[in-house]
Amino acid sequence: MSHKLILVKDNTPIDITGYAGNLKWSSNIDSLAVECQFEYISSADMPYFDTVTISVGDQVMLQDAAGVTLHRFIIVKQERTDRFKFSYSCFDFAWYLNSNSAAIQFNGVSASAAIEQLLNRFNVKHSVTKIDKSIKKIYNGDSLADIIKDILKQTTDETGRKYFMEMRLDTLYITPYEHLLINPTAQLADNTAPFPLVSAISNPSRSVSIEDMKNRVTVTSESDKALKVLQTVQDDKSIAQFGLLAHVESVDKKDEAQARNIARNKLAELNKATEDISIDLLGSDELRAGRLLDVNETITGIVGRYVITQASHSEANGIHKTTIRLGVT
């Protein structure tokens, strides 16, 4: 394989690449954690094979051919498929953000400070970009991942700026989307020049839909059993073309002063056709959910800058392939 699988057993790294197969890993912009699956030959009944026992809770590292660690996973599920073979499902350290819940209250601290307070409480290493939005909210029983997503949503609703979070090895990074533009390349042989992967797209697919489009946004709040309409913005040109498509956004009383900004930003987010796009590329470890990619595939009209919403990697017979789904930025 062009990638290596390293089992970490009692703090000792053990290369299990030669006994592993059907390696797959994927990232999704909505699920946070990177998932990995592989099969492994057991030596329990095979005296001529010197393999080690893998248990649920062990860690494995995915490395590139040069030995650089790309991901570090926790094995969360083991399945025996026949006498000599096991299948394993793993997640990176973001799995802990989905699996732990918290009770915490923020009283007007900045969004970045709130996130750091939460992560420090659970000893999660992090690198969080400075976000000034004031957070006043109580969370009770929400997962760490959902709390952070909600804080970032509040920021995006008010400012229009989008943020992305992902786990890199054992550290959670939260960065603006515009910092994640990539241009992956491939080199087929030592005596050939590298070329951009997006110049060799296969199986392009693109559909366009207005099913989720909204061209009027009304911001409301509710207190003491009274409903208040705070702000309404709309796109008259879009309404004339597609008909009225209305969305109501409810905000807390503390956010009423930002109703106009929230309405404008929500309209900008929703007042567009959605695209469902997928393409196949030669494999690259740079292809990961949340990255921005410039594409110019004129036959199907996949032209412009897109965000990778899902990246599915597979490796068989030493060949690394990636299927990615793209969304409009």
Give the total number of structural domains in the chain.
4
Could you tell me if 167 and 253 lie in one domain? no
* CA neighbor of 33 nearest in space, from 75, 77, 95, 88: 95
* CA neighbor of 248 nearest in space, from 273, 214, 224, 271: 214
User: What pLDDT is attached to residue 312?
Assistant: 96
Question: Which string of b and e fits 129-168 if b means at least 16 CB within 10 Å?
Answer: eebebbbeeebeebbbbbbbbebbebbbbbbeebbbbbbb
Could you tell me if 25 and 77 lie in one domain? yes
Could you tell me if 18 and 33 lie in one domain? yes
* CA neighbor of 279 nearest in space, from 308, 252, 257, 255: 308
Q: Share the mean pLDDT of the chain.
A: 90
Could you tell me if 199 and 285 lie in one domain? yes
User: What pLDDT is attached to residue 194?
Assistant: 83
Could you tell me if 117 and 170 lie in one domain? yes
Mean pLDDT on 229-246: 94
Could you tell me if 205 and 278 lie in one domain? yes
Question: Per-residue pLDDT for 124 more than 70?
Answer: yes
Q: Among residues 270, 288, 303, which one ends one of the domains?
A: 270
The larger pLDDT score, comparing residue 145 to residue 222, is at 145
User: What pLDDT is attached to residue 252?
Assistant: 83
pTM of the model: 0.81
Instruction: Give 19's strand partners.
Output: none
Among the ranges given (31-45, 113-127, 147-161, 190-204), the one the predictor scored with the smallest mean pLDDT: 31-45
Could you tell me if 170 and 222 lie in one domain? no
User: What pLDDT is attached to residue 226?
Assistant: 82
The domain that holds 168 is classified in CATH as: 3.55.50.30
Could you tell me if 61 and 163 lie in one domain? no
Q: Among residues 92, 125, 140, which one ends one of the domains?
A: 92
The domain that holds 298 is classified in CATH as: 2.40.30
Could you tell me if 153 and 40 lie in one domain? no
Could you tell me if 184 and 174 lie in one domain? no
User: What pLDDT is attached to residue 148?
Assistant: 96
What domain range is 63 assigned to? 4-92
Mean pLDDT on 241-250: 94
User: What pLDDT is attached to residue 324?
Assistant: 96
- How do beta strands 226-234 and 202-209 pair? unpaired
Mean pLDDT on 181-188: 86
Three-state SS sequence of 107-149: EEEEHHHHHHHHHHHCCCEEEECCCCCEEEEEEEEEEHHHHHH
User: What pLDDT is attached to residue 121?
Assistant: 95
Mean pLDDT on 173-187: 87
What is d(CA 176, CA 159) in angstroms, rounded to the nearest whole number? 12
Q: Among residues 36, 58, 92, which one ends one of the domains?
A: 92
Could you tell me if 197 and 282 lie in one domain? yes
User: What pLDDT is attached to residue 44?
Assistant: 57
User: What pLDDT is attached to residue 50?
Assistant: 61
Provide φ and ψ at 192, rounded to 5°. Answer: -120, 155
Could you tell me if 107 and 167 lie in one domain? yes
The domain that holds 88 is classified in CATH as: 2.30.300.10
